[in-house]
Amino acid sequence: MNAYAEEIADKIRVAKRSHPARRSLTALPVQNLPAIGNRLSTTEKLIMVGASTGGTEALKEFLMPMPADTPAILVAQHMPEAFTKSFAARLDGLCKMTVKEAEHNERVLPGHVYIAPGHSHLLLKRSGTNYLTELSQSSPVNHHRPSVEVLFRSAAQTAGPNVVGVMLTGMGKDGAVGMLEMRQSGAYNFAQDEATSVVFGMPKEAIAVGAVDEVLPIREIAPRVLAHILSGQRVDKGGSHAN
Active site residues: 52, 78, 174
Give residue 24's region: left, alpha or beta (phi > 0; psi -120 to 50). Answer: alpha
Q: How far apart are CA 57 and CA 121, in angstroms?
A: 21
> Which residues, other chains included, contact 85 with Cβ-Cβ below 8 Å and sequence gap of 6+?
101, 117
Q: How far apart are CA 224 and CA 238, in angstroms?
A: 9
3-state secondary structure of 213: coil
Strand order in the sheet with 163-167: 98-101, 112-115, 73-77, 46-51, 163-167, 188-192, 214-216, 240-241
Amino acid sitting at position 186: G
> Which residues are registered as beta bridge partners of 200?
170
Helical spans, DSSP H, in the chain: 2-17, 20-23, 55-63, 81-94, 148-158, 176-184, 202-208, 218-231
Q: How far apart are CA 61 and CA 55, in angstroms?
A: 10
Give residue 128's region: left, alpha or beta (phi > 0; psi -120 to 50). Answer: left
